[in-house]
Structure 1
Amino acid sequence: MAFGITRKQLKNWKKQIDRGEVAFITHYWLDDRFPAAKTVTKVGCKDIEQLARWGARYGLKKEWIHIRKDGYSHYDLLGERQRTILREEGKLDQLDVFK
């Protein structure tokens, strides 16, 4: 279950993806499969190959991309990997909002 973001934030994330950018959005997230995770960062791009190249820089596998028919395919980042990548990308503020 996702919560903690506004419709405007979601629309902005989708607009960035539509422009061909690698886009980030972080929100609260509860999933029984990952009880320690309270947030998730979705990193999306409409160009799957571009997204896979971006992910490879951080050791993410192409097969980990959540392929979506609506064009908003993305990686889900959780835990320490989430924090490390957001720090490297200069986007740690996205996560710090949820402390």
Structure 2
Amino acid sequence: MSKDKKIFEEKGKFDVRNHYVKSETSYSMKVAENPLGDPYLWNQLKPQLTENQRKWLQYYVIENMSVNEIAGQENVSTDAVKSWGRGVRKKLKIAVEQRGLERLS
């Protein structure tokens, strides 16, 4: 499997490096074609994201820009950009948990 692919497990969490962690295995969020690696999950999550959260996904995950670069480009503080990322992770966690429950039913 390519390093650019993201695999989601039913249970896990995000660590401080923006990686999804399940047990001892972690997978980078970066995916070239689809930022979430799971089209169903992406379609479920996308309408819930704010414009700024979608910008964070585009810049940080897809284009691999740093928080400082994003803040400069968008003319906002680095704390604002970090907040966008936290919002995405929170919504993603909920979507992953819901996806896991749907697979079990």
Sort the TM-score into its range (normalised by shorter chain): 0.3 to 0.5
- Larger Rg computed on CA atoms: 2
TM-score under structure 2 normalisation?
0.32
Higher-helix-fraction structure:
2
Higher-strand-fraction structure:
1
